[in-house]
Chain A
Amino acid sequence: MPKLLPLLEHVVKKPIWDCRMCGQCVLHSTGMTCPMTCPKTLRNGPCGGVRPDGNCEVVPEMPCVWVKAHDRSQHMPLIPKKWRDEFNHLRPPVNNALQGESSWINLINGKDQQTPAGWVPGEERHEH
């Protein structure tokens, strides 16, 4: 099972979202746009290099992943309000140890939610 699930997840998510199997899926909070397809693999919104036409600094012929994510997260129908709000949350650094694992399994066992002990979510910092 643990071997089959990553494969199954990849088969499902690769064609639709160009899934990179980071093992800690955040698609729901990014307008169902995979941030790992951003050439800089940013997790917290678009870099300052987005071109005036909304295309990517690195790949000029590609729309910026984050511009797309922002647009979809705010305007796509059927996205719950909670997910829309989550777009602005500070997402933690990628856990590179989870690369290639199934985010479905990691969701169930909570591994995708574990952050380094010194990581403080932005909201909590604010109250500091």
Chain B
Amino acid sequence: MSTEPSNNDSHSINVFEELCLSRARPVMTAELRSFDGENLAVVEKELTELTPYIDGINITDNPAAHAHASNTAMAIAVKTLGGNPIMQIVCRDKNRLAIQADLVGAGMFGVENFCALTGDDVTAGDEKEARRVFDLDGPQLVSVMTGISQGSYLSGRKLKSEPHMFIGAVENPTAPPLDYRVDRALKKVDAGAKFIQLQICYQPEKLEHFIRGCVLNGVAERAALLPTVVFTKSARPLGFMDTSVPGISVPKAVIDRVANSEDQAEESYQLVKEQVIYALGLPGVAGIHFSDFRHDGSLQRMLQELGLGPKGHDRQPKEDKNAYSH
């Protein structure tokens, strides 16, 4: 289709992609917190603590409809600092022109992993007056990403090279209509998604139902399914997620279990550990995605306890880092 090869000279092994495809061991991804104007040295420090334990790091895109340092800027920063970014893109804030520009621009810096999300509505955030865009929807965005990876914009205009891209999406196993969620996952896989990160799910039976459906319709084989777990320090954030985060419900029994325990921090840690063990035991699950509201080393502790880290696979190039130093 296109003439020039992709920028292979700077291409190092993409551990995340490799594992999603080979399933040689469980894939571990985590979310980088959002930044609001701090020094990149802070980003580097947090990244260095995580990278030995994880295979890819999600760069969020204005999560919960709050503005932060942009997904594109942070994905490039993380790539340059030696991490393996998974750049999330939501459909809420930008039209198809702007999104394609971000994809191609980030790709030129070596960002390879992209994750398509519909995105929370603007009403979930602190700028409720904002115009919502949704020029593309989630499945369409996956398809547009695939087009770019094959060297063509949506308009049909050719890129100068075919960027190496590893494309994924998200799905929510707990949102109605439950039976339809596996069809929607399939739609995204048909459009080119090779990994699917799942919304945090506090109802194991719903997660299992979804995963089983994905095994039956082939999604689990064609895409790496990564259920999400969330580290919290107490019961309060669980209650907050239940009432205030779109698409998440936390059963009262779960909140009570943590709230009524003597050591809430430890109890919520144990809750997450049970969730991880349970999810990894489901046939069709390829790994885990971690979201962390604690930032106290719980992720590292857990992966060590489960015999899953550190991996010492920090194989990303680090040479360019001075470009972003203070």
A91-B140 Cα distance, complex, nearest whole Å? 8
Contacts A44-B187, A48-B246, A118-B153 given; indicate if A70 touches B177 (C-beta within 8 A): yes
Q: Is A99 an interface residue (CB 8 A)?
A: no
A54 partner, pick from B135, B154, B170, B176, beta carbons under 8 A: B176
Question: Do A117 and B155 have beta carbons less than 8 Å apart?
Answer: yes
Chain B residues whose C-beta falls within 8 Å of the C-beta of A44 in the assembled complex: 137-140, 184, 187
Chain B interface main SS type:
loop
Chain B residues 132-185 with CB under 8 Å of chain A are: 132, 134-140, 143-144, 146-147, 152-157, 170-172, 174-177, 180, 183-184
Tally chain B residues at the interface, Cβ within 8 Å: 45
Question: Do A64 and B176 have beta carbons less than 8 Å apart?
Answer: yes
Question: Do A90 and B247 have beta carbons less than 8 Å apart?
Answer: no
Question: Do B171 and A90 have beta carbons less than 8 Å apart?
Answer: no
Question: Do B190 and A39 have beta carbons less than 8 Å apart?
Answer: no
Q: Is B192 an interface residue (CB 8 A)?
A: yes
Binding site for B on A (CB under 8 A): 39-52, 54, 57-58, 64, 67, 70-71, 88, 90-94, 96, 116-120, 122-123, 125-126
A66-B213 Cα distance, complex, nearest whole Å? 20
Question: Do A93 and B118 have beta carbons less than 8 Å apart?
Answer: no
B123 partner, pick from A48, A58, A94, beta carbons under 8 A: A58
Chain A residues whose C-beta falls within 8 Å of the C-beta of B171 in the assembled complex: 48
Q: Chain B, 197-236, contact with A by CB distance < 8 Å: what is the 0/1 string?
A: 0010000000000000000000000000000000000000
Question: Do A67 and B246 have beta carbons less than 8 Å apart?
Answer: no
Question: Do B180 and A49 have beta carbons less than 8 Å apart?
Answer: no
Q: Chain B, 74-86, contact with A by CB distance < 8 Å: what is the 0/1 string?
A: 0000000000000
Question: Do A42 and B176 have beta carbons less than 8 Å apart?
Answer: no
Q: Find the B residue at minimum CB distance from A41.
A: B134
Question: Do B249 and A90 have beta carbons less than 8 Å apart?
Answer: no
A45-B190 Cα distance, complex, nearest whole Å? 15
Q: Is B57 an interface residue (CB 8 A)?
A: no
Question: Do A45 and B180 have beta carbons less than 8 Å apart?
Answer: yes
A54-B249 Cα distance, complex, nearest whole Å? 13
Distance in angstroms from B227 CB to nearest chain A CB is: 14
Question: Do A67 and B177 have beta carbons less than 8 Å apart?
Answer: yes
Q: Is B94 an interface residue (CB 8 A)?
A: no
Distance in angstroms from A33 CB to nearest chain B CB is: 13
Question: Do A122 and B123 have beta carbons less than 8 Å apart?
Answer: no
